[in-house]
Amino acid sequence: MTWRWVPAAVTVFAELAYGDSITAGTLRCEAAEAGVSCRDSESRHGFSLSREA
C-alpha cells in the first residue's frame, strides 16, 4: 500500500450583496433577495440556494 499526502483544500468565504456576483473559473454565482444561484458557463449546469431553506 502506498500512502500519499494530500493538502487540505483552501476555503474562501465571500459575502455578496443583493445584485452582486462572483466568478471563479467557469462558475458564476449571483445573489438575490430570494437566495443565490450558481451556473457553470460551459456546461450550463447549476444550482440555487434559497434563503427560505
The pLDDT assigned to 52 comes to 83
Quick: pLDDT tens for 6-51. 556 556 666 789 999 989 899 999 999 999 999 999 999 999 999 8
What integer pLDDT is reported at residue 53 of this predicted model?
Answer: 59
Report field, pTM of the whole predicted structure over 0.85: no
Residue 21 near residue 12 (C-beta atoms within 8 A): no
How many CB atoms neighbour CB 18 within 10 A? 9
Which secondary structure element, helix H or strand E, spans residue 29, and what is its range?
strand 27-32
- Beta-ladder partners of 49: 36
Sheet order of strands, 27-32 included: 21-24, 27-32, 35-40, 46-50
